[in-house]
A and B are shown apart, each in its own frame.
Chain A
Amino acid sequence: MSSQPEPGAAVAQSEERRNWTEVAFQLGALLGLILLIAIFAFSSPSFLTTGNLAGIARQTSVNALLALGMLVVILTGGIDLSVGAVLALAMVVLAMVITKAGLDQSIGLLAALLVGAALGVGNGLLLTRLHLPHPFISTLGMMNIARGAALVITGGASISALGGGIVKFIGNDEIRLGSGDGAVSIPIMLFVVVLAYVGFYFFLNRTVVGRHIYATGGNPEAARLSGVPVDRILVLVYTISGLMAGLAAVVLAGRTDSGYPNAGLGFELDAISACIIGGTSFFGGVGTVSGTLIGALIMGVLRNGLNIMSVDTNWQTVVIGAVIIAAVYVDVLRRRAGQSR
Chain B
Amino acid sequence: MKSKRTRAASVAALGLLLAACSSGATTAPAASPAASAGGATGAAACQGKTIAVIVKAGTSTYWKTVGAGVDDAKAEFPGCTITFEGPDAETNVTAQIAEVESAVAKKVAAIVIAVTGADQVLPSLQKAADAGIPIILIDTNKEFAPKKAFVGTDNAAGGKAAGDFFVKTVGVKAGDKVLIIRGQAGDAVHNLREKGASDVLKAAGATVIVQPADSDRAKGQSVMENVLQANPDLKAVFATNDEMALGALKAAQQANKTIPIIGFDANPDALASVAAGGLTGSIAQFPKKIGQMGVETAVKVIAGQTVNASVNTGVELVTKDNVANFK
In the assembled complex, the Cα of A304 lies from the Cα of B223 at a distance in Å of 8
Instruction: Note all chain A residues with C-beta closer than 8 A to B246.
Output: 158, 160, 256, 258
- Which residues of B, 180-220, contact A by the 8 Å Cβ criterion? 182, 185-186, 209-212, 214-218
Instruction: Note all chain B residues with C-beta closer than 8 A to A262.
Output: 215-216, 243
- Which residues of B, 231-267, contact A by the 8 Å Cβ criterion? 243, 246-247, 250, 254, 267
A263 contacts B216, C-beta separation under 8 Å: yes
Residue in B closest to A308 when the chains form the complex, CB atoms: B230
Q: Per-position contact with B for A41-61: 1 when CB-CB < 8 Å, else 0?
A: 000101101011001001100
Cβ of B321 under 8 Å from chain A: no
In the assembled complex, the Cα of A160 lies from the Cα of B62 at a distance in Å of 19
Q: Choose from A52, A159, A172, A256 the contact partner of B226 (Cβ within 8 Å).
A: A52
Cβ of B169 under 8 Å from chain A: no
Instruction: Note all chain A residues with C-beta closer than 8 A to B41.
Output: none
Q: On chain A, which size bracket covers the interface?
A: 35 or more
A-contacting 9-mer, from B13-21, B30-38, B268-276: B268-276
The answer to whether residues A256 and B227 also contact, given A313-B185, A313-B211, A317-B185 and a CB cut-off of 8 A, is no
In the assembled complex, the Cα of A62 lies from the Cα of B216 at a distance in Å of 14
The answer to whether residues A265 and B214 also contact, given A156-B60, A157-B269, A303-B222 and a CB cut-off of 8 A, is yes
Quote the shortest CB–CB distance from A171 to chain B (angstroms). Answer: 10
* Interface secondary structure of B, over-half rule: helix
Q: Choose from B218, B227, B269 the contact partner of A255 (Cβ within 8 Å).
A: B218
Quote the shortest CB–CB distance from A296 to chain B (angstroms). Answer: 14
Instruction: Note all chain A residues with C-beta closer than 8 A to B6.
Output: none
Cβ of B61 under 8 Å from chain A: yes
Cβ of A307 under 8 Å from chain B: yes
Instruction: Identify the interface centre among A49, A258, A263, A265: most chain B CB within 10 Å of its CB.
Output: A258
Instruction: Identify the interface centre among A161, A266, A308, A317: most chain B CB within 10 Å of its CB.
Output: A308
Instruction: Note all chain B residues with C-beta closer than 8 A to A314.
Output: 185-186
Instruction: Note all chain A residues with C-beta closer than 8 A to B72.
Output: none
In the assembled complex, the Cα of A256 lies from the Cα of B216 at a distance in Å of 11
Cβ of B71 under 8 Å from chain A: no
In the assembled complex, the Cα of A312 lies from the Cα of B268 at a distance in Å of 31
B211 contacts A59, C-beta separation under 8 Å: no
The answer to whether residues A256 and B186 also contact, given A158-B243, A308-B229 and a CB cut-off of 8 A, is no
Cβ of A207 under 8 Å from chain B: no
A255 contacts B229, C-beta separation under 8 Å: no
Q: Choose from B59, B185, B225, B243 the contact partner of A59 (Cβ within 8 Å).
A: B225
Taking Cβ atoms with an 8 Å cutoff, the residues of B that contact A are 59-62, 182, 185-186, 209-212, 214-218, 221-223, 225-227, 229-230, 243, 246-247, 250, 254, 267-269, 272-273
The 5 closest A-B pairs by CB, nearest first: A307-B226, A46-B230, A59-B222, A313-B212, A308-B230
* New A-B contacts (13) at CB < 8 Å, excluding given A307-B226, A316-B185: A44-B230, A46-B229, A55-B222, A55-B225, A55-B226, A156-B61, A158-B246, A158-B267, A158-B269, A255-B218, A256-B217, A266-B214, A304-B226
